[in-house]
Amino acid sequence: MRVQNKVVLVTGGANGIGRELVLNLLSRNARVAAVDIDESALEETNALSGPVGERLSTHIVDITDRDAVSALPEQIIAQHGAIDGIINNAGIIQPFVRINDLEYAAIERVMTINFYGTLHVTKAFLPYLLERPEAHLANISSMGGFLPVPGQTIYGASKAAVKLLTEGLYAELLDTDVKVTVVFPGAVGTNIAANSGVAQGMNPESEASQQSIEPLDPARAAKIIVDGIEKDRYRILVGSDSIWMNLLYRISPKYAAKLIFRQMRSLLPKSS
């Protein structure tokens, strides 16, 4: 779906890849609804949009609040006239510890935001997308969604759930005008740890390859994602690390898992 003159919603639009997705979409003459819980960061995204900001609306919404999300489509349609696409980008990582040391509160928070938040937005907006002559749904999974990363196992499980959710939607919507894309970012230079409220957290996509690969600039990541959406790609691998680890994991899952463990071992705290 070409995004020019389309209305696209981006969750997690206040920071990192989400902010760059908003700015990239605006640069392609799309209208954008940016959703986040961080009001001040949303205001900064709005300020960064410059003259094209007249095509941007910002919405302070907690995507884990199903009622709030359910009310969002009509709010966006009232402001923009329609909704043609959604990019479920919002997500957090877990504290960088083994499952044995991970509190249930952290587990539930990660699953609720990453999986249920994505599901809430998808369920709320899909009926409206199905009414459009063409529409697009893109969900951001993770390299950690197809490759086990020690210390981020629950995060990976949540992103694997997003992967299968998206692939299932693709199959269910094959006979409709809604295209579906699943995205797997590798190492991207964002503040995901700080934005996740993880005091000593690390970016699970960056640590595994940090010795040889520089994290991708978020603006570059956003361009790759929007380019892929415009080409109606089924899967988008963002970054050379995601591309190569996807290939290695397909060839030898066990070897790939051991490789990541060796790279991450020194970073993992000892189990209590």
Answer for the pair 169, 137: CB distance below 8 angstroms, yes or no: yes
Tokens of 111: 């699953």
Query: 183 by DSSP, 3-state: which?
Result: strand
User: In 3D, which of 222, 225, 195, 211 has the Cα closest to residue 259?
Assistant: 211
Answer for the pair 88, 138: CB distance below 8 angstroms, yes or no: yes
- The Cβ-side half-sphere exposure at 145, using a 13 Å CA radius, reads 26
Give yes or no: 155 in active site.
Answer: yes
Q: Residue 92: which residues within 8 A CB-CB, separation 6 or more?
A: 109, 110, 113, 114, 155, 192, 195, 196, 197, 198
Active-site residue (options: 128, 155, 170, 255): 155
Phi and psi for 172 in degrees, rounded to 5? Answer: -70, -25
Residues with a catalytic annotation lie at: 155
